[in-house]
Amino acid sequence: MLKAIYPGSFDPVTNGHLDVIKRSAKIVDELIVGVLNNNAKSPLFSVEERVNMLKEVTKDINNVRIVPFAGLLIEFAKEQGAALVIRGLRAITDFEYELQMSQTNHKLDPSIETMFLTTSIEYSYLSSTTVKEIAVFGGDVSQFVPEIVAVQLEQKMKLKGECDKHE
């Protein structure tokens, strides 16, 4: 049985992430989407919110589980009994960071391999960071993220706006 981890911050999940999840789930028997719980990265959405959005948008894919994790990815992969890590590669700018991460992980545990899926061309420009930036300025993110994520982003921005007014 081939079990893989697709790790990330998913702050929030985009259509690009969802594309990699769907394609990976067709290749492996079980796909665990590992959601990084790391407050040092000051995420916009809490880990619970990110996990819940991912659960909602993947609810029709039978072999996908959403699991939060903290600490080393390699330890999380071992805990979950997964020998494969999947990452999406967009433009060449992703390559250096991904290479460093996969080689470091391989040094930490050579039994765990990293496999890359190149993102579908229509998502090659897309990132959670740009989606958040569009949302901050009140732009329409509906073509970049699943509908429930667009709604949650809008709510989060309203809430942030209210808080900023009272600061």
Q: Give yes or no for residue 114 binding ligand PNS (CB under 6 A).
A: no
Q: Give yes or no for residue 73 binding ligand PNS (CB under 6 A).
A: yes
Q: Is 24 helix (H, G, I), strand (E, B) or coil?
A: helix
Q: Which of 4, 5, 6, 8 binds ligand PNS (CB under 6 A)?
A: 8
Q: Which of 27, 72, 115, 159 binds ligand PNS (CB under 6 A)?
A: 72
* Residue of closest CB approach to ligand PNS: 8
Q: Least separation, in Å, of the C-beta of 63 and ligand PNS?
A: 21
Question: What does R_g of the chain's alpha carbons equal in angstroms?
Answer: 16
Angle between helix 147-165 and 47-57 (nearest 10): 160
Strands annotated E in the chain: 3-8, 30-36, 64-69, 84-89, 113-118
Q: Give yes or no for residue 36 binding ligand PNS (CB under 6 A).
A: yes
Q: Give yes or no for residue 77 binding ligand PNS (CB under 6 A).
A: no
Q: Give yes or no for residue 130 binding ligand PNS (CB under 6 A).
A: no
- What's at 79, amino acid-wise? E
